[in-house]
Amino acid sequence: MVTVIGGVVKDYEWGIIDGLAPWCGGATGRPQAELWFGAHPSGPSPVLSADAAALPHSADSVQCDANGVANRSPAVLHAASLLDATGVPLLVKLLAAAQPLSVQVHPRAKLADDWWEAQQAPGAEQILADANEKTELLVALSEFEAFVGWRPLAEAISILSGIPGARDAVRLLTLGDRPSAIRSLLALDDRTESVSLLPLAAKAAGLAPADCAAFEMVVRVYPGDRGALLTALLAHVSLSPGSAVFVPAGVPHSYIHGLGLEVMTTSDNVLRLGLTPKPIFVSEALDALDDTAVPQMLHVEIGEAIRPVGAPFEVRLVGARSAGSDADAQRSTDEGSTIGQPREPRSSDSRDSAATGLLPTGRFRLCLAIEGSATVTTDDGTVSLGQGTAAVLVAAEPTATVSTTGL
């Protein structure tokens, strides 16, 4: 049986004001940063009826409460969370970033498991949210910018050489010692002055305008935050809609701004180094860095699978044009598979055509309607998805067919 779920909004301060209103059901006048679909304890999805097409989706009839959960009638909300004895291996999110997220790294599986066990002791510091590795793929739904992975050492040295307070960090980078350079930057006394010089230092180093603009945003949003200096060590990437970046655990990164879809292993383990009012864990974050892990930039045509090397899931984009609609995306994720991408114009003779995709049995699958409608059909029947709802099939369920006149 296909299970239909809704999303849970996270109102982190870096989110776009009402940025996820089209999917969570209405405006709140607050930042809407992420919309979670999955079973993680930090934001388990509400289970809806078997047919989400009958659910209300207007701002008048579906509102997000103070915890970001869509208010729906008890007859529709069958359970407070998605419960599945076989486990839910993936967490899928819509992400709407108005400003840079923290410079962060996620721990590998063994490290996460060891630290989680250690923090169960009475009085132990609570650092992790769960015992799982967090590996993620971000698919851009709009123009999207991020710092991901390491910038070439020579370029990082060139930037930081323009900041007098960073001399010790430059020396350490020259020796190839990034962890010690990070500690040095995070210990600077003249942090406000040093951070303010970052955009000028980038320009003097001959960086591209897009890089310099990213530094300017970081400094404007986080004046005096030493973590801003760490972005000089990170590679800047720009994603067009439909492009993706795979971020394995152990890779440092900071998403800057844009709308995207994230597919990840079920984990909320984030070790922060800066650009945040939340606690930072420098030693743990540095221990979690993995120099053997590298990000992957990916782009495929509609209908082709995105299969990052080493990822425990894949993403498949399917789309079709329908009259009068702008952009649809269905994401079907499994260990896995995701369907969807912003619409590209097609010829008028295909306006009423529908695109279809198969969700093979034997793996967990999640199909999310981002805009427009979709149907998911199995031997047991068909369910319809409205915007902001998702269909979940566990591994034992039969192969399903997804059909959409959107994308």
Residue of 184, 293, 298, 295 lying closest to 239 (CA atoms):
298
pLDDT confidence of 45, banded at 50, 70, 90? confident
pLDDT at 8 over 80: yes
Query: Of 403 and 248, which is predicted with more confidence?
Result: 248
The rounded distance, in Å, linking the Cα atoms of 41 and 88 is: 11
Is a pLDDT exceeding 70 seen at residue 342?
no
pLDDT of residue 353: 63
The yes-or-no verdict on residue 344 having pLDDT over 70 is no
**Confidence band, pLDDT 50/70/90 cuts, at residue 46:** confident
Using a pLDDT cut of 70, give the percent of the chain over it. 80
- The pLDDT value recorded for residue 88 is 72
Does the pLDDT at position 327 exceed 50? Answer: no
Structural domains of the chain, ranges and CATH numbers in brackets? 148-234 (no CATH), 316-404 (2.60.120)
Asked whether residue 79 carries a pLDDT value surpassing 60, the answer given is: no
- Asked whether the CA dihedral 116, 118, 122, 128 is positive or negative, the reply is negative
Q: What percent of the chain has pLDDT over 90?
A: 62
Higher pLDDT, 121 or 358: 121
Report, as an integer, the average pLDDT of 92-106. 98
Give the tens place of pLDDT for each residue, 359-370. Answer: 889 988 899 888
By DSSP bridging, strand 355-359 and strand 3-5 are: unpaired
Question: Tokens 């952009």 label which residue?
Answer: 327
Return the pLDDT at 54: 37
Averaged pLDDT score across all residues of the chain: 83
388 versus 328: the higher-pLDDT residue is 388
Nearest to 229 by CA among 183, 270, 271: 183
With a cut of 50, say whether residue 61 has pLDDT above it: no
Q: Which of 136-150, 215-229, 363-377 has the lowest mean pLDDT?
A: 363-377
**Cα–Cα distance, 258 to 240 (Å, whole number):** 10
pLDDT score, position 359: 87
Q: At what angle do helices 178-186 and 167-174 cross, to 10 degrees?
A: 170
Sign of CA dihedral 23, 24, 28, 33: negative
State how far the Cα of 216 lies from the Cα of 198, in Å rounded to an integer.
Answer: 8
Q: Is the pLDDT of residue 329 over 70?
A: no
Q: Is the pLDDT of residue 21 over 70?
A: yes
Q: What is the distance between the alpha carbons of residues 386 and 51, in angstroms, rounded to a whole number?
A: 9
* pLDDT given at position 322: 35
Give the SS3 label for residue 49: coil
In this prediction, residue 372 carries a pLDDT of 80
Q: Which residues pair with 356 in a beta bridge?
A: 403
**pLDDT computed for residue 129 by the predictor:** 95
CB count in 10 Å sphere of residue 117? 11
Task: Determine contact, residues 108/291, Cβ cutoff 8 Å.
Answer: no
Tell me: the pLDDT tens digits for 248-286?
999 999 999 999 999 999 999 999 999 999 999 999 999
Q: Say yes or no to pLDDT of 58 above 70.
A: no
Residue (of 59, 50, 42) closest to 79 by Cα position: 50
Q: 2 pLDDT band (50/70/90 cuts)?
A: confident
Question: Quick one: pLDDT at residue 25?
Answer: 82
Q: Give the range among 19-23, 39-43, 166-170, 289-293 with minimum mean pLDDT.
A: 39-43
